Amino acid sequence: MISVVLVASEDLPGLAAQMALLVPAAVDGLVKEVILVADGEPGVEALVEDSGARLVTTSGDRLAAGAAAARGDWILTLRATPALREGWREPIEKHLAGGGGAPAVLVVPGGGLLGKLAPRWHGVLVRRLDWPTRAGDERTLASALKAKRLSY
């Protein structure tokens, strides 16, 4: 159902942690595939081989390259940090069941007053068929699509 486009970084432990949190959702059928998009970061190929994810290599727009390779009905963009937290699936599953196809931003509030004003973005959820030809970064993508906010 969902293709997760995970943008690689040199934070291999962070990438591995993100991927580990996706495993139960993959077993349950929510996550169809994980696409790791890289630009030659060391160790990424071994991580992909060990995890069963697909590797897309590009020096250009990583989100667009990952989205082009996606086969799921929906695309969820992620980065190594901030790491997903337990409970991330619930708002996504509710949104998919009743969101009418609207794009969404997955966020988690940070700590203190500043955290309430500046929540931490975890990713953007977009139907694959609605992916724009020019997405830019995640904030630009969410803004252009008028994405709904999903907090957890």
Q: Scanning the structure block, which residue is given the tokens 């008028």?
A: 146
pLDDT digits (tens, 9 = 90+) for 102-115: 999 998 866 544 44
At residue 110, the pLDDT reads 64
Q: Which H, E and C letters describe 88-149, residue by residue? A: CHHHHHHHHHHCCCCCEEEEECCCHHHHHHCCEEEEEEEEHHHCCCCCCCHHHHHHHCCCEE
In the chain, count of helices (H) and strands (E)?
Answer: 6, 7
At residue 83, the pLDDT reads 81
pLDDT digits (tens, 9 = 90+) for 40-89: 888 999 999 888 899 999 999 999 999 999 999 999 999 878 788 889 99
The domain defined by 2-151 carries CATH number 3.40.50.2300 = no
pTM: 0.89
